[in-house]
């Protein structure tokens, strides 16, 4: 947490220094055209005459605009790099999940534990760095096709009972219960007891 805040502080300071530097560059370039003669120091933040006022206004505006462009370019590159790291992490965990699924007697339980750990890892690692909707897309990449089908049906219905869901998908009661339980543990869906079955709906963070 402290490291992330420190990193943000350093980046903010660097951007401020860059804008100040760009101000001097544009001020010097504009001085030769608008206000020839005199020293650069005499024109810095000088709004006493129309010429120096226009010169400083242009220099400040151009410096801020150029700084904003640099910021957006750097931010886009950082986002691309984060997505590459995320995709690599997901592939590694998916391979581990596939190995467990080959012959572990308690595979449903272990897969649920791994997927929950994946969701928590990604949330901790990338929260405050990427939008929630992007975070959800990352988590969904690690889901099985059956889990994705369940989520799609719940999204269409908005709210559905576990029994209705299994009938729509042609699943057994045990299979539906295991899959919904895994999604519940990952924080993607939420279950509420409704008679002999459960009412299932998406968590607020998983909507959209």
Per-residue pLDDT tens over the stretch 70-93: 888 887 777 766 666 566 666 666
| Number of continuous H segments (helices) and E segments (strands) in the chain | 8, 3
55 and 43 both lie in a single domain: yes
Judged against a pLDDT cut of 50, whether residue 105 lies above it is answered with no
123 and 80 both lie in a single domain: no
88 and 152 both lie in a single domain: no
Last residue of a domain, one of 103, 124, 156: 103
154 and 68 both lie in a single domain: no
Name residue 190's beta-bridge partners.
Answer: 201
Query: Which of 39-43, 59-63, 140-144 is predicted least confidently?
Result: 39-43
Domain that holds residue 196: 104-208
71 and 124 both lie in a single domain: no
DSSP 49: S
81 and 161 both lie in a single domain: no
206 and 155 both lie in a single domain: yes
Judged against a pLDDT cut of 60, whether residue 19 lies above it is answered with yes
CATH number, residue 141: 1.10.10.10
Last residue of a domain, one of 103, 118, 152: 103
109 and 184 both lie in a single domain: yes
Which of 121, 27, 110, 35 is CA-nearest to residue 66?
27
Structural domain count, the chain = 2
Last residue of a domain, one of 103, 132, 152: 103
Percent of the chain with pLDDT over 90: 4
Asked if residues 154 and 162 have their Cβ atoms less than 8 Å apart, the reply is no
133 and 89 both lie in a single domain: no
- b (16+ CB within 10 A) / e for 186-196: bebbbbeeeee
54 and 109 both lie in a single domain: no
For residue 19, give the H/E element and its range: helix 2-34
110 and 124 both lie in a single domain: yes
Judged against a pLDDT cut of 80, whether residue 172 lies above it is answered with yes
pLDDT at 24: 76
98 and 179 both lie in a single domain: no
How far apart (Å, rounded) are the C-alpha atoms in residues 138 and 116?
A: 13
């Amino acid at each position: 947490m402290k490291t992330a805040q420190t990193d943000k502080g350093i980046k903010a300071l660097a951007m401020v220094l860059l804008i100040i530097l760009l101000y001097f560059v544009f001020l010097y370039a504009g001085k030769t055209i608008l206000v020839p003669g005199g020293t650069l120091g005499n024109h810095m933040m000088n709004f006493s005459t129309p010429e120096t006022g226009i010169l400083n206004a242009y220099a400040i505006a151009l410096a801020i605009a150029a700084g904003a462009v640099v910021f957006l370019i750097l931010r886009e590159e950082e986002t691309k790099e984060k997505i590459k790291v995320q995709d690599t992490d997901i592939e590694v965990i998916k391979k581990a999940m596939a190995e467990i699924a080959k012959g572990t007697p308690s595979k449903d339980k272990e897969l649920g534990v791994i997927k929950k750990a994946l969701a928590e890892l990604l949330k901790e690692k990338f929260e405050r760095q990427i939008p929630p909707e992007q975070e959800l897309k990352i988590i969904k990449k690690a889901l099985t096709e059956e889990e994705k089908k369940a989520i799609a049906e719940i999204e269409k219905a908005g709210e559905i009972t576990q029994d209705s869901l299994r009938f729509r998908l042609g699943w057994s009661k045990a299979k539906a219960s295991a899959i919904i339980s895994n999604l519940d543990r990952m924080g993607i869906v939420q279950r509420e007891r409704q008679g002999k079955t459960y009412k299932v709906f998406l968590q607020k963070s998983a909507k959209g």
